[in-house]
Amino acid sequence: MKKKVNKKALFCIVFFTWAFFGLNSNANAHELKIRLENLNPAVVEYVEYVKNGEKTKDHDKNFFGMLLNTVEFKKDYSLDDNDNVVYEQKNKSSLPAKYISDLTPIRNQGSYGSCWACAMASVVEGSFSKIFGNLIEISVPNMIYHLNYGASLNNKYSSDAEEGGLFSLATAYFASGRGAVLAEDDVCYDNMFNKSNPEHWSVKKRQFLDTNLISLDYPAYYLRDVKFIPDPKIYNDRTREIHRNKIKRAIMKFGGVASSFLYDPEYISEDEKNYCCLEKVWWPNHAIKIIGWDDNYSRMNFKYRPKNNGAFIIQNSFGENWGNNGIFYMSYEDVYAGNNSVAVTDIDDFREKYSFYKIYQDDYFGMVLSVPTGTNEFFLAKIFDLRCQRENLTDVGLFIADSEVNCEFYLADLDSENKISGLGEVIGEKYFEFPGYYTVALNNIKELSKKDNNGKFAIIVKMKSESDGEIKLPLEIKSWVTATSQAVGYKDENFVNINGKWEDIFDVVKDDTGWNLFEVTNLNIKAFTEIVGR
């Protein structure tokens, strides 16, 4: 016998089911929070000083230009201990006890906080020498110009980097196509900080920023790949050795790495040739280039003596009259030895290869922040307006915030309202061992037309952690803390899909620090094109 259905009860069941799943789906809209515990502790400490009106501290007198990284790139090398032991035994001969790469021009930053720019320029020069076999000199003033908002009223995308900078900012300068520029071709080279007449700064720079076009003679080179070597998440003798060996291999292959450490005259020897600080007394304030090492360098050479022999060989930016013709040794046991190391691993020579007509981009400050997502996989999408009637999409550029990440690239389907309606066609895939900036040549070159999608196109990137760990969202952020206070972003251009729904990053990413430090601007996705038939 059939039971009679109670209509009132059925209504209640349907209503509460709808309420739970329907309303809960909105309540569970993915929200990514920027929290203090996810930031570099040094940044938190610095902001506390500023908020308490204590910005001028005794340590400021030893500031040489290296700002604090908002986040730190770290890897738990202890998890890979067994694999690394086997690898080290197999490749033991690949790492000699002593090695030094070819010297690049020794710079003198003088009284300016430009160590970060000097170090990155030197790394580019070392990598170029390895790849192309000859030595060049990169313009440091050009880099600072493009990241200094006081240089020109026409310089739309700039910061306050004249007073200091970061490797990530320098990487953004190169990734955006504003450099690298040869020193001999830079018209402002002899007027590095001419405040009285800003018109001495290069006219070509302002024109480039306005049109965002790359010409045959400006810039001279484009950095396709820049790798950030993560610091150990857990410090012990073994993890430091693994980390140190990764740096050594990068030096041998790419001519040196940029790095940062705490420089205080207290810890340098009287002849300025040996440096060792064994305790964390403050945070990194100076950038240098590591050009080699000596595993047997005597511990007795240091003012504060480490337990063991061994040192990195460092190229500084204090001029040739400092140290040993601008060079000094840093003990392996220095508290910041090898910290925040960066290698330039691929360069395009525009004079030999006319690679790109245009870089479609908005993230002129690069990856400023990475936000935890709580998942090991998500999708990103960036929408652009096509400039010409027909262009070929050839490459995609992006920043990666984690180690061991696999990316798939799609040319998205857009509906009549210019919203993402589907993944579209796969146009490329690549695995990334290290965080950093990468330019990926697409497997499937696609022709773009203004007749399609109202003249718009969109790149989708699927990011997945190959180590099954949580993956972070790389972002450009506007903030006074990171020298990116001039960053600009707009809604309806940047989207993330974590829970099966495309959402604007302006609606998803929230500053939960309590200090209103950050304002979201752009995803770190670029598109490279050539004109069809050119």
Is pLDDT at 61 greater than 90 in this prediction? no
Distance, CA of 261 to chain centre: 18
**Which of left, alpha, beta for 325 (phi over 0: left; psi -120 to 50: alpha)?**
left
pLDDT confidence of residue 24? 36
From the CA atom positions of the chain, what is the Rg in Å?
25
Least-confidence region, from 47-56, 117-126, 264-273: 47-56
pLDDT confidence of residue 209? 33
Tokens in use for 316?
């500084």
pLDDT confidence of residue 497? 97
Residue 481: CB atoms within 10 Å: 22
What single DSSP character describes residue 270? T
Q: What is the pTM of this model?
A: 0.88
359, 476 contact by CB (below 8 A) = no
Least-confidence region, from 21-25, 154-158, 162-166, 250-254: 21-25
Condensed to tens digits (0 to 9), the pLDDT of residues 249-277 reads 999 999 999 999 999 999 999 999 999 99
Condensed to tens digits (0 to 9), the pLDDT of residues 446-467 reads 999 999 988 999 999 999 999 8
The mean pLDDT of 343-366, rounded to a whole number, is 81
pLDDT confidence of residue 143? 86
Q: Is the preceding omega at residue 198 within 30 degrees of 0, hence cis?
A: no
pLDDT confidence of residue 430? 97
With respect to residue 190, please indicate whether it lies within any of the assigned structural domains: yes
Domain end: 208, 223, 238, which one?
223
With respect to residue 320, please indicate whether it lies within any of the assigned structural domains: no
With respect to residue 103, please indicate whether it lies within any of the assigned structural domains: no
pLDDT confidence of residue 11? 45
Query: Could you tell me which of 263, 260, 274, 264 has the C-alpha nearest to residue 311?
Result: 274
pLDDT confidence of residue 391? 93
The mean pLDDT of 403-412, rounded to a whole number, is 97
pLDDT category, 110, cuts 50, 70, 90?
Answer: confident
Domain end: 197, 223, 249, which one?
223
pLDDT confidence of residue 313? 98
Least-confidence region, from 148-162, 185-199, 499-513: 185-199
With respect to residue 85, please indicate whether it lies within any of the assigned structural domains: no
Task: Write the burial class of residue 59 (CB in 10 Å: 0-12 exposed, 13-18 middle, 19+ buried).
Answer: middle
With respect to residue 388, please indicate whether it lies within any of the assigned structural domains: yes
Residue 197: CB atoms within 10 Å: 8
Query: Could you tell me which of 342, 389, 349 has the C-alpha nearest to residue 231?
Result: 342
101 to 139, 194, 391: CA distances (angstroms): 21, 34, 41
Backbone angles phi, psi at 241, to 5 degrees: -65, -45
The mean pLDDT of 143-171, rounded to a whole number, is 73
Structural domain count, the chain: 2
Place of tokens 């990440």: 405
Q: What is the dihedral of CA 211, 386, 456, 525, to 10 degrees?
A: -60
Task: Write the burial class of residue 19 (CB in 10 Å: 0-12 exposed, 13-18 middle, 19+ buried).
Answer: exposed
Least-confidence region, from 218-222, 270-274, 402-406: 218-222
- Sign of CA pseudo-dihedral 168, 174, 178, 181: positive
Calculate helix-pair angle for 167-175, 115-132, nearest 10 degrees.
Answer: 50
The mean pLDDT of 332-345, rounded to a whole number, is 97
Domain end: 223, 258, 284, which one?
223
pLDDT category, 501, cuts 50, 70, 90?
Answer: very high
The CATH number that applies at residue 384 is: 2.60.120
pLDDT confidence of residue 29? 58
Q: Across all residues in the chain, what is the average pLDDT?
A: 84
Containing 453, the helix (H) or strand (E) segment is none
* Rounded Cα distance, 509 and 523, in Å: 11
Range of the domain at 201: 110-223
135, 104 contact by CB (below 8 A) = yes
Backbone angles phi, psi at 449, to 5 degrees: -135, 145
401, 473 contact by CB (below 8 A) = yes
pLDDT category, 188, cuts 50, 70, 90?
Answer: low
With respect to residue 317, please indicate whether it lies within any of the assigned structural domains: no
46 to 59, 160, 286: CA distances (angstroms): 12, 17, 16
Show contacts of 145-154: CB within 8 Å, 24+ apart: 145/188, 145/201, 145/202, 145/205, 146/173, 146/178, 146/179, 146/205, 146/209, 147/173, 147/483, 149/485, 149/486, 150/195, 151/198, 151/201, 152/198, 152/201, 152/205, 152/206, 154/206, 154/209, 154/210
pLDDT confidence of residue 511? 96
